[in-house]
Amino acid sequence: AQKITQTQPGMFVQEKEAVTLDCTYDTSDQSYGLFWYKQPSSGEMIFLIYQGSYDEQNATEGRYSLNFQKARKSANLVISASQLGDSAMYFCAMREGRGADGLTFGKGTHLIIQP
């Protein structure tokens, strides 16, 4: 079974609209962390936001927020007021336990913002 599932291979959104990118995860660990990364066409991996499994409040970073629903094992990324520069691939990833053996990634969502 996949540990990280991103069900939206591609999305088209009008500029200035809010966007929700879906991510569900599967783990039996009590301690874990969820990450979102942005990969623009230039190829670098840009960290956006992090949510720990014990965090009681949803994480926010500027226009990014993480809608964390622990019981549903979902960690959706919300981008408010989308901009043309938000067009990119977006990856959800999970750290299990202390994370010494790295992150497990979903397959990504290709987001295109239309003017």
Partner 1 sequence: DAGITQSPRHKVTETGTPVTLRCHQTENHRYMYWYRQDPGHGLRLIHYSYGVKDTDKGEVSDGYSVSRSKTEDFLLTLESATSSQTSVYFCAITASGGYTFGSGTRLTVV
Cβ-based neighbours of 108, under 8 Å, separated by 6 or more:
6, 9, 39, 89, 90, 91
By CB under 8 A, tell whether 72 contacts partner 1. no
Residues 11-50 that bind partner 1 (CB under 8 A): 33, 35, 37, 43-45, 47, 50
Measured from the CB atom, the residue of 69 and 99 that comes closer to partner 1 is: 99
Task: Output the smallest distance, CB 51 to partner 1, in A.
Answer: 12
- How far apart CA 113 and CA 115 sit, in angstroms, is 7
By CB under 8 A, tell whether 62 contacts partner 1. no
Beta bridge partners of 5: 24
By CB under 8 A, tell whether 70 contacts partner 1. no
Interface positions with partner 1 (CB under 8 A): 4, 33, 35, 37, 43-45, 47, 50, 91, 93, 95, 99-108
